Amino acid sequence: MAKKNPAQPVTLQPDLRKKNRSQMSLAMRRLMKNKTAILGLIIIISLILLALFADVLFDYDEVVIKQNIAEMRQPPSLAHPFGTDELGRDILARVVHGTRVSLSIGFTSTLLASLIGGTIGAVSGYFGKRVDMIISRIMDMLLAIPGTLLAIAIVAVLGTSVTNLIMAMVISSIPKFARITRGAVLTVKDVEYIEAARAIGATDRTIILSHVIPNCMAPILVEMTLNISFAILTISGLSFLGLGVEQPRPEWGAMLSSSRTYIRDYSYMALFPGLAIMVTILAFNLLGDGLRDALDPRLK
């Protein structure tokens, strides 16, 4: 009697990779057709370049930090396109260096929050039952507290520093990523390719990391983009209240706070930091809306 060859394990990974590539290329084509999203992307890239080359454009110690009483509160001119503040420091230089502070905190806090919150949400949605109930109730309690208020409370307890500010933003953003990831996992955990992975003996860890999370990235990416704008706005608000980045380090909210005394006579001191906050948040919101439309599988 001829010996039968053992059946080879079935894997859908090549087909999944091909499908993911086609979906990604389709999403990119949709994104490129969205003019407002591309505008937001161009602004964000410009801001990132400004943050990276801030030291090349303006010397930090001489232009940004050093006080020059002889040139204080000068209106915009060729020498100082954005004018000078109450201590004679160039506002343009401080806005440019403030871009580095705001973007670094926004990107770092959002990345950490998405990693922690995404992991918590994936575990909650995948295992379900008691694990899901416990995690969901904890996230519900955190979501019951407004994010900005929670960040203020954390910074007030831990103290004002960049590290504590990032920690506050991470803690206040984790519940959003956990809930979004949990919802996305619930929609994919019982589909055919997950069942096939279980059938060939894949561990839960492998299934979550290799199959579940990659197919849940669309809503997570959109939320990351929108959360950066929320983080920047919250950072500026905390700095305006004196709970964020400390002087003399340039930060847009702190610049607004120090200029409010002179806003009637020297409105430009508050105008340019305020415009920087508005343009940055608008750019991330435009890109986030564009990503949401591009990654929506219901759109053709």
The pLDDT of residue 146 is 84
The pLDDT of residue 275 is 94
The answer to the question of residue 252 being in a domain is: yes
The pLDDT of residue 299 is 53
CATH code at position 60: 1.10.3720.10
User: How much is the pTM?
Assistant: 0.82
How many alpha carbons fall within 13 Å on the CB side of residue 132?
A: 12
Number of structural domains, the chain? 1
The answer to the question of residue 74 being in a domain is: no
The answer to the question of residue 72 being in a domain is: no
Nearest-CA neighbor of 39 among 287, 295, 292?
Answer: 287
The answer to the question of residue 177 being in a domain is: yes
Instruction: Give the integer Cα–Cα distance in Å for 56 and 163.
Output: 26
CA-to-CA separations, 36 to 24, 27, 175, in angstroms, rounded: 20, 15, 29
Residue ranges in the chain whose pLDDT is less than 70: 1-24, 296-300
Number of helices (H) and strands (E) in the chain: give both, helices first: 12, 0
> What is the sign, positive or negative, of the torsion defined by CA atoms of 167, 162, 229, 283?
negative
For residue 214, is the peptide bond before it cis, meaning its omega torsion is within 30 degrees of 0?
A: no
Retrieve residue 258's tokens: 């120090």
How many angstroms from the chain centroid is the CA of residue 64? 26
The answer to the question of residue 141 being in a domain is: yes
How many angstroms from the chain centroid is the CA of residue 252? 17
Instruction: Give the integer Cα–Cα distance in Å for 181 and 71.
Output: 52
Q: Are 98 and 251 in contact (CB under 8 A)?
A: yes
The answer to the question of residue 13 being in a domain is: no
The pLDDT of residue 23 is 63
Helix (H) or strand (E) holding 271: helix 268-295
Range of the domain at 274: 33-67+79-295
The pLDDT of residue 22 is 61
The residues with which 205 forms a beta bridge, in sequence order, are none
The answer to the question of residue 196 being in a domain is: yes
CA-to-CA separations, 122 to 12, 97, 173, 216, in angstroms, rounded: 21, 37, 16, 9
